[in-house]
Amino acid sequence: MGRIFFVLLIINAALLYVHYSNSAVADGYDKNALTYSQEIEVQYDGKQFIVTHHFTNLAPLDYDIEWPKGSSDIACVESEITQCTRSDEQLSKIVAGEATEQTYRYTLPKPEAVQGVFEVGQPFAKIANAAPQLTTVHIVDETTSGGMWVTGLEQIGTHQLEDFHYFLFAGVGEVTDLFWQQEVTPLAHRGERFTLFDRAVTDEEFGEHIDELLTQFKSKHMTVVLHQGNHNIEANRYVALPESEKENIANVLFTKSVQTAYGIPLEERKIAELVGSILLEQPIGTPPANAAYGKLTETLAADDLVRLENALREPQEEPLTAERFDQLVGSASHSEVNYFSEMLAGQTPEHLLLYEPKEVVHGEKVLEGVQPIKMKGQLYYPLRPLLAAFDYEVTSDEQSIHVKSEDETFRFSLIDSFYVYQQKRVNLRQSPYMLINGQYYFEEQSLLRIFKLIFEHHEDEIQVSSLRAVIEEAVEDEEEGSAKS
Q: What is the pLDDT of residues 399-430, one digit of tens each?
A: 999 999 998 999 999 999 999 999 899 999 88
SS3 446: helix
Secondary structure of 179-243 in the HEC alphabet? Answer: EEECCCCCEEEECCCEEEECCCCCCHHHHHHHHHHHHHCCCCCEEEEEECCCCCEECCCEEEEEH
* 261 or 222, higher pLDDT: 222
Measured between alpha carbons, how far is 447 from 403 in angstroms, rounded to an integer?
12
Which position has the higher pLDDT, 347 or 339? Answer: 339
What integer pLDDT is reported at residue 283 of this predicted model? Answer: 85
Q: What is the model's pLDDT at position 19?
A: 42
- Strand 439-443's sheet: what is its strand order? 354-355, 373-375, 378-382, 439-443, 433-436
Section 76-88 average pLDDT: 92
Q: What is the pTM of this model?
A: 0.63
In this predicted structure, the answer to whether residue 26 has a pLDDT above a threshold of 60 is no
What's the CA gap between 120 and 128, in Å, rounded? Answer: 19
Q: How far is CA 94 from CA 30, 59, 75, 415, in A?
A: 17, 10, 13, 72
For residue 13, pLDDT beyond 50? no
Q: What secondary structure letter does DSSP report for 460?
A: S
Which of 29-43, 124-138, 167-181, 295-309 has the lowest average pLDDT?
29-43
Question: Of 107, 166, 171, 111, which is closest to residue 142 (Cα–Cα)?
Answer: 166
Asked if 147 and 124 touch (Cβ cutoff 8 Å), the reply is no
Q: What DSSP character marks residue 87?
A: B
Domain 34-184 has CATH 3.40.50.720: no
Confidence of residue 70 (pLDDT cuts 50, 70, 90): very high
How much of the chain exceeds pLDDT 90, in percent?
58
Residues 6 or more apart whose CB falls under 8 angstroms from that of 431 comprise 412, 417
216 pLDDT tier (thresholds 50, 70, 90): low
- Termini Cα distance of the chain: 78
By the 8 A CB rule, do 214 and 194 touch?
Answer: yes
Domain ranges of the chain: 34-184, 268-354, 357-474
Dist CA 397 CA 440 (whole Å): 12
When the candidates are 1.10.3730.10, 3.40.1160.10, 3.90.25.10, 3.30.457.10, the CATH number that belongs to 357-474 is: 3.30.457.10
**What per-residue confidence (pLDDT) applies to 260?**
78
Q: How confident is the model at residue 64 (pLDDT cuts 50, 70, 90)?
A: very high
**How high is the pLDDT of residue 31?**
67
Q: What is the pLDDT of residue 313?
A: 83
What beta strand segments (E) does 229-377 contain?
233-234, 238-242, 354-355, 359-362, 365-366, 373-375
Residue 88 confidence (pLDDT): 94
Reference 73, options 100, 102, 48; nearest CA is: 48
- Contact partners, residue 231, CB within 8 Å, separation at least 6: 115, 117, 181, 240, 242
DSSP 1: -
Does residue 360 sit in helix, strand or coil? strand
Pairing verdict, β 194-197 and 222-227? parallel
Structure-model confidence comparison of residues 60 and 213, the more confident one:
60
In 359-423 the beta strands, taken as DSSP E runs, fall at 359-362, 365-366, 373-375, 378-382, 393-396, 400-404, 409-413, 418-421
What mean pLDDT comes out for the span 160-164?
90
Q: How confident is the model over 177-195, as a mean pLDDT?
A: 90
| Poorest-pLDDT segment among 55-59, 129-133, 344-348 | 344-348
In which order are the strands placed within the sheet that holds 102-109? 72-76, 102-109, 48-56, 35-44, 131-141, 165-172, 154-160
Q: Is the pLDDT of residue 191 over 90?
A: no
Greater pLDDT, 73 or 346: 73
The side-by-side arrangement of strands in the sheet containing 359-362 is 365-366, 359-362, 461-466, 453-457
Q: Are 55 and 67 a contacting pair, CB within 8 Å?
A: no
